[in-house]
Amino acid sequence: MNSYFYSLLLVFIIVAWLINEDPNVGTWINIKAQQAWLEVRRSYYLIVYHPKNFITTWRLNSKLNKLLKEYEDEMKDD
């Protein structure tokens, strides 16, 4: 377990040294982190809001059925 932490510390030290030597490395790391976060969000939205996703379809259909039932009850009262 100690070797794992030493290797992480070594990687952190190397990255810090690279950022200190060349500021473009810090900018590159920032851009890559933003790109990774964008891909995570993109994947999330593709999974959640895909039309063939049964959970999204079920949720939408239940809301529509509830509105339809309310509308039918309202029409019966009139």
pLDDT digits (tens, 9 = 90+) for 54-67: 878 888 899 999 99
2 domain residue, yes or no: no
What pLDDT is stored for residue 7 in this prediction? 95
Contact 4, 10 (CB under 8 A): no
11 domain residue, yes or no: no
What pLDDT is stored for residue 69 in this prediction? 93
User: Tell me: the pLDDT tens digits for 14-43?
Assistant: 999 998 999 899 899 999 999 999 999 999
**Residue 30 is part of which domain span?**
23-77
Contact 19, 29 (CB under 8 A): yes
64 domain residue, yes or no: yes
17 domain residue, yes or no: no
Please state the pTM of the whole predicted model: 0.55
54 domain residue, yes or no: yes
What pLDDT is stored for residue 8 in this prediction? 94
59 domain residue, yes or no: yes
- Domains contained in the chain, number: 1
